Amino acid sequence: MSIFGLFRKQKSAPMARERLQVLLAHERASAGSDLVSILREEILAVIAKHVELDADRVHVKMDRDENMSILEIDVEIPLKSTLQAA
Amino acid sequence: MGKVIVVTSGKGGVGKTTSTAALGAALAQNGERVVVVDFDVGLRNLDLVMGAERRVVYDLVNVIQGEAKLTQALIRDKRLENLFLLPASQTRDKDNLTTEGVDRVITELKRVFDWVICDSPAGIERGATLAMRHADMAVVVTNPEVSSVRDSDRIIGLLDSKTLKAERGERMEKHLMLTRYDATRAERGDMLKVDDVLEILSIPLVGIIPESSDVLRASNMGAPVTLADARCAPAMAYFDAARRLRGEQLPITIPGDKRSIFGKIFGRKAA
């Protein structure tokens, strides 16, 4: 390769890094999917015992960090059901 | 009770077997009683890398099936009297590895050895999950390359879900072993840097093994690299990694990053 090749060629490592970050963010969200989907179903069942809710309005997300995993549960409860429960 | 380490990676060919042999020998060279266990049934290679391929009589499957006693299957290293190998079967099917059988063998080994190092097969199938099942800690071997990093991420997920430790709700201790690292190429921007891989995988680093012909030379001779040439760069990196696994705090150095300014200038031009 000539000296000029250095100027022409883009560094490839930053591309690798970026592609991996995007891909793994996606894969981590969908992988662990066994656990997340089991949790989702069970959480849904427990809450549904007490309040009426829309299954599509329950979001369960798992994030991983160096020291811990964060389980995020987001349940939207319609106003009507809240009144019934109270 | 001994500690169980699984050496795993997901992807094949990144250096699991080389690392198992080198870490096992390094720990044994420090006076610890060590057994390295090959879980790659059907494609065993740890015996070859350890230079014990002609001494295999019985193997892990024989012990699990009750055809041989553990003491009959264990092979004592010719160079280190406190280093042993439990080979995998070359001819049998991996379905012969039963969960109960592996439980029994590992429990027995833990009673006798300080360290039980399990060399996982590539992939995420039965052999790999059985190899990691009893682990107290995991060494995740990764090359600074996209497919290896992706597979390591997958394996980290399995370590956190499919092991006995995970099932008991305990935290699996995971260590990143970055192999075949080329500091010059990383510096040039043509290879993922240590920090890139660490940031992506989010597990602590236990060692950086430089790309080196010494590794191939050692396997050609049938010796763990730490025994073949204890002074070469990869061997020293493995010695340090073994000390970290024992709990010592050592600063991590990036091997091969010692070029002079002169070398840097001309190294770049040559590229």
C-beta neighbour count of B105 within 10 angstroms: 20
Query: What is the pLDDT, as a whole number, of residue B28?
Result: 98
Note whether A66 contacts B203, CB cutoff 8 Å. yes
Structure confidence at residue A38 (pLDDT): 76
Would the pLDDT of B13 be above 80? yes
Encode pLDDT of B216-253 as tens digits: 999 999 999 999 999 999 999 999 999 999 999 999 98
Angle at the Cα of B233 (from B53 to B156), degrees rounded to 5?
70
Q: Which residue has the tokens 């396997």?
A: B219
Nearest to B150 among A24, A34, A64 (CB): A24
Is B154's CB within 8 Å of A11's CB?
A: no
Task: Scan residues 50-69 of A and list those with Cβ closer than 8 Å to B.
Answer: 64-66, 69
- pLDDT at residue A2 in the model: 56
Which run of H or of E encompasses B150?
helix B146-159
Lowest mean pLDDT among A36-50, B2-16, B100-114, B144-158: A36-50
In chain A, % of residues over pLDDT 70: 71
How many interface pairs between A and B have CB atoms less than 8 angstroms apart? 52
Nearest residue of B to residue A25 by CA position? B200
Does residue A56 surpass a pLDDT of 50?
A: yes
Weakest mean pLDDT among A21-25, B36-40, B110-114, B265-269: B265-269
Note the pLDDT tens digit of each residue in B196-216.
999 999 999 999 999 999 999
What percentage of chain B has pLDDT greater than the value 70? 94
Which pLDDT score is estimated for B258? Answer: 55
Interface residue A23 vs chain B (CB under 8 A)? yes
Q: What percent of chain B has pLDDT over 90?
A: 89
What's the mean pLDDT in B157-184? 94
What mean pLDDT is reported for chain B? 93
Half-sphere exposure of B138 toward its Cβ, with a 13 Å CA cutoff?
32
pLDDT of B100 over the 90 cut: yes
The separation between the first and the last C-alpha atoms of chain A, rounded to the nearest angstrom, is 75
SS3 call for B75: strand
Asked whether the beta carbons of A43 and A73 are under 8 A apart, the reply is: yes
In this prediction, residue B91 has a pLDDT band, given cuts at 50, 70 and 90, of: confident
Q: Model confidence at A25, in pLDDT bands (50, 70, 90)? A: confident
Q: What is the model's pTM?
A: 0.81
Spell out which residues of chain B touch residue A64, defining contact as CB-CB under 8 Å.
Answer: 160, 202
Q: Which residues of A touch B154 (CB under 8 A)?
A: 27, 31
Q: Find the DSSP H helices in B30-142.
A: 46-50, 60-64, 70-73, 99-112, 126-133
Residue B39 confidence (pLDDT) above 60: yes
Min CA distance, B249 vs chain A (Å)? 18
